[in-house]
Structure 1
């Protein structure tokens, strides 16, 4: 099915983006520590790059991946006691509500990203990282979360990963 292939491709893309951002975050912090304490010259803009670009990438690009396997926070104490039909219905309602809420977040933050872009907002005068980029990342991740929730309504959860089950 085209939707499944597109979803899997998108999952690989956001996983790669989030992973690359995590590696970049680690390298940037290490370089800044070395520059700050050994060379006595910290790297300008580390905080802006971290908070505006890298952390939103790490958090919001990987967030939707949890939906397919029911990896997000859930009320297992209650839901696990329901009969299978009740569990499916509860999951469907939860995904619908979550999809609508994440869609609303994507809309609000996307609008803020557009306003920031039009205003030419930058994080600092010295570094000048455009603020809209961070908003756009959050809006994109939220939209992806919304679509992922809505696509997964009526689908069974992916098999649990035994290495993280119960964590």
Structure 2
């Protein structure tokens, strides 16, 4: 099977969003694999050679940040995040649609401003040459990555909300395969 056929089979998104989803998930998978190797090396070194990997805690923290923030935009535009719909059957479709639009606007706005604040902190960190304690790795670039992922998630949330608004679907109606933004 060719890579493009595999990609089309496993990623339902269209156009550049498909490639971005693949790239972000590949980044998360690579970080997870490296984290697994680091943990194995650290445990083997600790128990068999009485010497742990220097900076393993710092590298673990950075890898977890990479994994979590790579998946947030993908989860957002696939609409696979947790949704509480206890009152949907009691309120009716108009209220559900209004609450959905409001939540999309609030969440995307919050993610945008969070990304702005995170970028400001990243700029400050880079300006001050802040580094990790043991490995002396610059922290500002990881913080910039987190800010960029917040902005991508904000755009994904807004795109998902617009899709839901114009596609005429409300959460819980239709199958998950139909709910993926085209």
TM-score tier, shorter chain, comes to 0.7 to 0.9
Corresponding position of 1:9: 19
TM-score normalized with structure 2 length: 0.78
| CA spacing shift, 1:107–1:155, aligned 2, 3 Å | same
CA 10–82 in structure 1, closer or farther in 2 if over 3 Å, else same: farther
Structure 1 pair 16/57, CA: closer, same or farther in 2 (3 Å)? same
Number of aligned residue pairs? 157
What is the CA–CA distance in structure 2 between the aligned matches of 1:9 and 1:16, rounded to whole Å? 10
**C-alpha distance in 2, partners of 1:76/1:140?**
30
Q: 1:37-91, CA deviations, whole angstroms, 9 ceiling, x for partnerless residues? A: 111111111111111x201111111012222343223221123544334333322
What is the alpha-carbon root mean square deviation over aligned residues? 2.1
Instruction: Give the drift of 1:134.
Output: 2.4
CA contact (8 A) 2:126 2:139 kept: yes
Q: Which residue of 2 aligns with 1:164?
A: none
CA contact (8 A) 1:69 1:159 kept: no
Q: CA deviation at 1:27?
A: 1.2
Pair 1:132 & 2:148 matched: no
With normalisation by structure 1, the TM-score equals 0.84
- Aligned twin of 1:40: 50
**Does 2:38 correspond to 1:28?**
yes
Runs of 4+ more than 6 Å apart: none
Q: CA deviation at 1:9?
A: 1.7
User: Which residue is equivalent to 1:90?
Assistant: 99
Confirm whether residue 150 of structure 1 aligns to residue 166 of structure 2. no
2:125 aligned with 1:116, yes or no?
A: yes
Q: Which has the larger radius of gyration?
A: 2
After the TM superposition, which of the residue ranges 99-108 and 85-94 deviates more from structure 2? Answer: 85-94
- Stretches of structure 2 that go unaligned for 5 or more consecutive residues are 1-12, 165-170, 178-182
Whole-Å separation in 2 of the counterparts to 1:160 and 1:65? 15
**Given that residues 109 and 154 in structure 2 are in contact (C-alpha distance below 8 angstroms), is that contact kept between their aligned partners in structure 1?**
yes
Name stretches of at least 5 consecutive residues in structure 1 with no aligned partner.
162-167
